Structure 1
Amino acid sequence: MLDRIAGFFRLIGRTITRWVSLLAAWAFWPFLAAHGWYQRRTWMIRIPIIALAALLAVLYAYFFWQTQVWSNFNPSFVDQYRLSERKVPAGQELPVAGGAAPGAKTCQRSAIVDVAADLTDFNVNQNAWISSMLLYRLGLFGIDWDHTPFLDNKASFQRGVNQAARRTSAELVDTLGRVRGTSGINNDLQNARGNLQFDEYSWYFGLNPFGPKTPTPSYYRSAIGSLRKFNADLASCNAVFDGRADNLIQFIDRIANDLGGTSDMLAERSENHNRGWFDTRADDRFWFAYGQLYAYYAILSAAQSDFSQVVAERNLGAIWSGTTKQFQAALRIQPAIISNGREDGWIMPSHLATMGFYILRVRSNLVEMRSVLDR
C-alpha cells in the first residue's frame, strides 16, 4: 500500500518536472537561438549589441527601482502643515505681528493651494512620473503594464493623486480663486489648471502626432510654479481667495462626485471580474482609488483651514472630524497583494469591495456636510 502511495507521488513529481521543463524550454528558446546567432557574428556586430543590452539593463534597473521605491510616501503627511494652528481663513489679512514694520500688510496663504502644489511635487520631483517613462510605455513584451500584475501600482497611485489635483485646480480657477461675477480669472491658476490637464502618458517623442514632444512631468512642474506664485501673491494680498459658504458647497460637491465615479469603477470590477489574486487589473483600480483618497484627505484637511470661518459658523467641526477619521481608516489598508475575490468568499479577500466601502462612507459624510451648508 505504501509503495503505491509513494509511486503515485513520484508520478506527480515527474509530471510536474516535465511540464516545468517544457515551459522553460518554450520561454528560453528565443534567447538560446539568439545566443547561437550572436556567436557566429563578428565583433563589429557584437559590440553594438553588447552596448544595447547594457543600456537596457541599466534602464530596466532604474525602472524597477522607481516603481518599487515610493519616496516620501506618508498618508499622514498633512500633519506637517500644522493646520490647527492657523487662526485666519485663506485670503484674509493677518494681524500685524509685534515688531513688524508699519504698513506691512500680509494675508493668509491658501492651504488648499499649498497641498495641491506639494502633491504634484511629490508625483514628479520627489518621485519619477512612471506613466510617461519609456519602458512603461513599451510594456512587458508589448503588453501594457496595466494589464499585468507587475510594476504598475505606483503609476496607478500617482494618477489617482493627479486626478484629485486636477479637480482641485479646476475649482480654484472657477470659484475659489476669484470673486464670482466681479473679478476675472487668475492667470496663474488658469495656467496651473491647463498644465495639470495635460496627457499623463507623454514622453519626449510620440507617434500621434509624430515628432518630439514635451514630456508630462515638465507640464506638471510648470503647474507647481504657477500654484506657488498664486499663493505668494495671495500672501502679499495681491490675489483673491473667495471663502464663501456656497463656494465650499460646490467644492465638496465636486469631490463627492469624483469619489462617486471611483466607487462605481471599483464596484464594476469587483462584481464582474472577481478572480481573486488572478485579476491583473484589480491592483490598478485599488491604487488609483487609494491615490485619490491620499490626495483628498490632505486637500479636505486644508479646506477645513481655508474655510475655518464657515466651518465654525455652520458648526461643521464634528462632521469634518468624522470624515477625517474615515479617510485615515481607508489609508491604513495597504495590502502587499491586491485580491479581487467574491464578497462572500472565504479564501481570497475582496480588497476592492473594502476600498469601495470606505469611499462610500467618506462620500456619505461629504453629502451630509453639503446638506448642512445648504440649510
Structure 2
Amino acid sequence: MLDGISGFFRSIGRAIGRWARLFVAWAFWPFLAARGWYIQRGWLVRLPVIGILALLVLLYGYFLVQTQSWTGFNPSFVDQYKLAERKVPAGQEIPAADGASAPATKTCQRAAIVDVVADLTDFNVNQNAWISSMLLYRLGFFGIDWDNTPFLDNKASFQRGVNQAVRRTSVELVDTLGRVRGTSGINGDLQDARGKLQFDEFSWYFGVNPFGPKTPTPSYYRSAINSLRKFNTDLSNCNAVFDTRADNLIQFIDRIANDLGATSDMLAERSANSASGWFDTRADDRFWFAYGQLYGYYAILAAAQSDFSRVIAERNLGALYGVTNAQFQAALRIQPAIISNGREDGWIMPSHLATMGFYILRVRSNLVEMRAVLGR
C-alpha cells in the first residue's frame, strides 16, 4: 500500500521535472543559439553587440525602477491644502482680516479644484515617470502588451486612472466652472489645459501612425500644468471667473457619478466573466485603474467642497459630504500585494475586483444622493 502511494508521488515528481526541463530548454534555446553565433565572430561584431546589450540592461533597469517606485504616493495628500481653513468660495474676493485696513489691490480665492488637478498631473509626470509612453512599455514583454501580463503594469494603470479623473474635471472646468454660462467666453488657459490633457496617453518621441517624430505625452501634460496654474494666478488676482453656482456643482457631481458608474461596470464585467483568481492577468490593471480614479476624485471632490462651501452650507450637505469622503478613504485603504479575481464566495483566492466595485458603488450612491439634495 505504502509502496504504491510513494510510487505515485515519484511519478508525479518525474513528470513535473520532465516538463520543467522542457520549459527551460524552450525558454533558453534562443540565448544558447545566440551565444554560439557570438563566440564565432570577431571583435568588430562583438563590441557593438556588447554595447547594445549594455544599453538594454540600463534601459530595463531604469524601467524596472520606475515601475516599482511610486514617488509622492499618498492617499491623504489632500490634507496638505488645509481646505477647512478657507472661508471664502473660489473666485470670491477675500476680505481683509478683522481690524486690518483694506489692501491696495483685491485678492480673490484660488480654485482648490484647479490646484488639485495641476498637482495630480504633476504627480503623474514630474514626480514620477509617465509609464504608458515609455519605449519599453510600448514594446511590451516579448511583443505582449504589458497590460496582458501580471507584472510591471500596476503603476501605469494607476496613472491612467488618475488621469481619467483629471481629464473629466478639465472638461467641466472649461464648459461650466471657469465661465459664467451665457455671459462670458471660454477661458483660454483652461481651454488649452483641456486640450493638452486629452492628448494620447501612449505617445513616445517617434511613432508609426502617423510615421515620424512626435511630442511625447508628458510634454503635453506639463504644458497643461502651466496653463492651470496660470489660470489660478489670474483668479487670485480677480482677473478670471470661477462660477460656484449650485447647478454647476450638480452637473459636476453628475459627471463624476457617471464616470465612476462606467468603471464599476468594467470591474463587474471582468469579475463575472474572468474569475481566474490569481491567474487573471488583467485583474491587476483593472483594479489599479479604478484605484487611481478614486485617488483622483477623492482629492477633487474634497477641493470642490471648499470651492462650493457656500452652496454646501446652504443645502446642509456637510454631513453627507463627510460620509462620502469616509467611503473614499475606506476604498483607498485597500492595497493588496497581489490582485486576485476569484469567485465572490471563494475563500482561497478573494475577489478584489468585486470589493473595489462595491466601494465605488457606495461612493456613487452618495454622489447621486448629493445631486438629488442639490436639485431640490
Q: CA deviation at 1:17?
A: 1.7
1:159-207 deviation line (CA, Å, top 9, x unaligned) = 0000000000000000000011000000000000000000000000000
| Structure 2 counterpart of 1:336, one-letter code | A
Please state whether the residue corresponding to 2:281 is helix, strand or coil.
coil
Cα distance in 1 for partners of 2:3, 2:169 equals: 71
* Segment of structure 1 superposing worse, 2-11 or 64-73: 2-11
Unmatched 5+ stretches in structure 1: none
8 A contact 1:96–1:105 mirrored in 2: no
Indicate the residue corresponding to 1:32 in structure 2. 32
Q: CA deviation at 1:8?
A: 3.3
- Percent of pairs identical after alignment? 82
Q: CA deviation at 1:354?
A: 0.5
Indicate the residue corresponding to 2:326 in structure 1. 325
8 A contact 1:160–1:288 mirrored in 2: yes
Please state whether the residue corresponding to 2:104 is helix, strand or coil.
coil
Q: Report how many residues are paired.
A: 375
| Structure 2 counterpart of 1:17, one-letter code | G
Cα distance in 2 for partners of 1:355, 1:55 equals: 40
Relative to structure 1, the CA distance from residue 184 to residue 35 in structure 2 (aligned partners, 3 Å threshold; closer, same or farther) is same
- 2:52 equivalent to 1:63: no
Indicate the residue corresponding to 1:231 in structure 2. 232
Indicate the residue corresponding to 1:193 in structure 2. 194
Q: CA deviation at 1:96?
A: 2.0
Indicate the residue corresponding to 1:373 in structure 2. 374
Indicate the residue corresponding to 1:44 in structure 2. 44
Cα distance in 1 for partners of 2:265, 2:103 equals: 56
| Structure 2 counterpart of 1:186, one-letter code | N
Indicate the residue corresponding to 2:91 in structure 1. 91
Cα distance in 2 for partners of 1:249, 1:12 equals: 64
Cα distance in 2 for partners of 1:176, 1:135 equals: 39
Indicate the residue corresponding to 2:176 in structure 1. 175
1:211-252 deviation line (CA, Å, top 9, x unaligned) = 000000000000000000000000000000000000000000
Q: CA deviation at 1:16?
A: 1.7
8 A contact 1:273–1:340 mirrored in 2: yes
Please state whether the residue corresponding to 1:211 is helix, strand or coil.
strand
Cα distance in 2 for partners of 1:32, 1:99 equals: 80
Please state whether the residue corresponding to 1:201 is helix, strand or coil.
coil
- 2:83 equivalent to 1:74: no
1:299-341 deviation line (CA, Å, top 9, x unaligned) = 0000000000000000000100000011000000001111111
1:349-370 deviation line (CA, Å, top 9, x unaligned) = 0110100000000000000000
8 A contact 1:131–1:200 mirrored in 2: yes
Unmatched 5+ stretches in structure 2: none
Cα distance in 1 for partners of 2:101, 2:143 equals: 62
Q: CA deviation at 1:99?
A: 6.0
8 A contact 1:343–1:350 mirrored in 2: yes
- 2:19 equivalent to 1:19: yes
Indicate the residue corresponding to 2:301 in structure 1. 300
8 A contact 1:131–1:155 mirrored in 2: yes
Q: CA deviation at 1:13?
A: 2.3
Q: CA deviation at 1:10?
A: 2.9
Tell me the C-alpha RMSD between the 2 structures.
1.1
| Structure 1 counterpart of 2:123, one-letter code | F
| Structure 1 counterpart of 2:186, one-letter code | I
8 A contact 1:286–1:351 mirrored in 2: yes
Q: CA deviation at 1:342?
A: 1.2
| Structure 2 counterpart of 1:166, one-letter code | R
| Structure 1 counterpart of 2:240, one-letter code | A
Q: CA deviation at 1:100?
A: 6.7
Q: CA deviation at 1:343?
A: 1.1
Relative to structure 1, the CA distance from residue 239 to residue 289 in structure 2 (aligned partners, 3 Å threshold; closer, same or farther) is same
Cα distance in 2 for partners of 1:47, 1:346 equals: 55
| Structure 1 counterpart of 2:114, one-letter code | V
Indicate the residue corresponding to 1:7 in structure 2. 7
| Structure 2 counterpart of 1:187, one-letter code | G
Indicate the residue corresponding to 1:134 in structure 2. 135
Q: CA deviation at 1:7?
A: 3.5
* Segment of structure 1 superposing worse, 216-225 or 345-354: 345-354
| Structure 1 counterpart of 2:314, one-letter code | E
Cα distance in 1 for partners of 2:216, 2:223 equals: 12
- 2:163 equivalent to 1:166: no
Please state whether the residue corresponding to 1:95 is helix, strand or coil.
coil
Indicate the residue corresponding to 1:291 in structure 2. 292
Please state whether the residue corresponding to 2:61 is helix, strand or coil.
helix
Question: What does 1:191-270 align with in structure 2 at a 5 Å threshold?
Answer: 191-270=192-271
Q: CA deviation at 1:95?
A: 1.3
1:268-298 deviation line (CA, Å, top 9, x unaligned) = 1011111111111111110000000000000
Cα distance in 2 for partners of 1:250, 1:5 equals: 69
Cα distance in 1 for partners of 2:48, 2:357 equals: 51
Q: CA deviation at 1:20?
A: 0.9
Please state whether the residue corresponding to 2:200 is helix, strand or coil.
coil
TM-score normalised by structure 1 residue count = 0.98
